[in-house]
Amino acid sequence: MNNFKTIKLQNGATVITVPMQNTNATTVVLFFGAGSRYETPDIAGSSHLFEHLLFKGTEKRKTPKEIAEIVESKGGILNAYTDKESTGYWCKMPSEFYLDGLDVLVDMAKNPLIKTKDLDLEKNVVYEEIKAFMDSAGSRASNKADQHIWPNQPMGVDVAGSIETVKATSREDLIKYLDKQYTSSNAVLVVSGNLAHEEVINASEKAFEGFREGDPMKFSPCSYYNDKPLTVLDKMETNQSHLTIAFKNFSLVDELRHASLVLSVLLGGGMTSRLFEQVREKRGLAYSVNASSHGYSDCGVFYVDAGIAPENTEETFKVIIEEIKKVKNDLTKEEMESSKELIKGRMMMRYEDSRSIAMNYGTQYLLTNRIISIEESLEMLKEVTMKDIFEAYNYIFNNSTIIASVAGSVENIPDLTKNSQIF
């Protein structure tokens, strides 16, 4: 995967090809620098709503069925996602038909119909998606953690917005968004799998011909909550509560992001992790417990999550914090190397898939304007030292940004962070 090529088309769009041997599948992903971080509070969720609308029809293909048939009639898969900093439209197809997928994805972004009738219908679909989110204790705990670790700014707002803000989003808002963010200079097209580079470039030049141009808006820098440990409660009717503990973390370009990933794995990356052993195996406090490291352009978040009975919330929090503290005192080089091997193995298995490669390389280029190959990432992981781990530890686990977020059927949760000097 180190033999990728990056080409800038005449109108500013970027095309990346990643040839992969021994596969009969090819993935095409079209990325835009568009997401919830670019939104104003009154139309929060508009990026996600807009993503839905692009599947409703184009000037060339008038209905959702005509769009889907291009891919599904050949056995392929068509879908999309919206995140805080990016939106992506993707298809994975038998390799002989991938140019059809490329054409339909660019067409969706280039010539969407955006009918008022479709907008009204798709708003109803998004309402149901938001309701499903609101029924999930895990989603709500994570969302509340984000709201408080990035207070009063788009980074802390859920990608889907709320029913109220989606209702308030007009067709005119979406047309403005299309003209501003869905421009050629803000587009990254990635094709990975069984492909021919020149064939991809020729097809891309043709597909992007006449694509709108302009200067997309940028997002504002984020700022962390920076006061003292904070407990947040979101009451809801559930049979199980969810605890999310969030900390500030490194960005996608920080050199210590690999050390943060190692920390997340040794703490909660599988059945051999410290938290799984202490929280589930030894005490039976949770069915699931895990830790994860997430990076964005200029910031990041480190989560520890557990699904628990309400009455076990305080004990689970204490056990998690104690296990985090122990890392600083008893981490061994052998445990660090074992965690690195786990990450390496999972990376190697995940990136046998053309879609995983396309998502990784495209997101990197869109958000950082560079690509670090899988091989280079593995080498950087290999070079992580104990010194790096402790430097990352001291940055992440501090008292000023910790958020303990609990969602579930519980009347009162004690102040889990009443001790202002947890670490």
The pLDDT value given to residue 277: 97
Hey, is 272 helix, strand or coil? coil
Long-range Cβ contacts of 266-270 (<8 Å, 24+ apart): 266/327, 266/331, 266/335, 266/336, 266/338, 266/339, 267/291, 267/304, 267/323, 267/324, 267/327, 268/292, 268/304, 268/305, 269/339, 269/342, 269/343, 270/342
Contact, 291 vs 267, CB < 8 A?
yes
Distance in angstroms (rounded) separating the CA atoms of residues 107 and 91: 13
Query: Quick one: how far is CA 134 from the chain centroid?
Result: 19
What are 264-309's pLDDT values in tens digits?
999 999 999 999 999 999 999 999 999 999 999 999 999 999 999 9
The pLDDT value given to residue 217: 92
What order do you get walking across the sheet with 25-32 strand by strand?
Answer: 5-8, 14-19, 187-193, 25-32, 87-94, 77-82
- Where is 357: in which H helix or E strand? helix 354-368
The pair of structure tokens assigned to 421 is 């000097």
Residues of the chain with CATH 3.30.830.10: 5-207, 230-408
Contact, 268 vs 323, CB < 8 A?
no
| 5-207 CATH choice from 3.40.1670.10, 3.30.830.10, 1.10.238.10, 3.40.50.720 | 3.30.830.10
For domain 230-408, the CATH architecture is 2-Layer Sandwich (3.30)
Planar angle of CA 56, 59, 65, nearest 5 degrees: 40
> pLDDT tens digits, the chain, 423 residues: what are they?
678 999 999 999 999 999 998 899 999 999 999 999 999 898 999 999 999 999 999 999 999 999 999 999 999 999 999 999 999 999 999 999 999 999 999 999 999 999 999 999 999 999 999 999 999 999 999 999 999 999 999 999 999 999 999 999 999 999 999 999 999 999 999 999 999 999 999 999 999 999 999 999 999 899 999 999 999 999 999 989 999 999 999 999 999 999 999 999 999 999 999 999 999 999 999 999 999 999 999 999 999 999 999 999 999 999 999 999 999 999 999 999 999 999 999 999 999 999 999 999 999 999 999 999 999 999 999 999 999 999 999 999 988 999 999 999 877 777 888 877 888
Hey, is 254 helix, strand or coil? coil
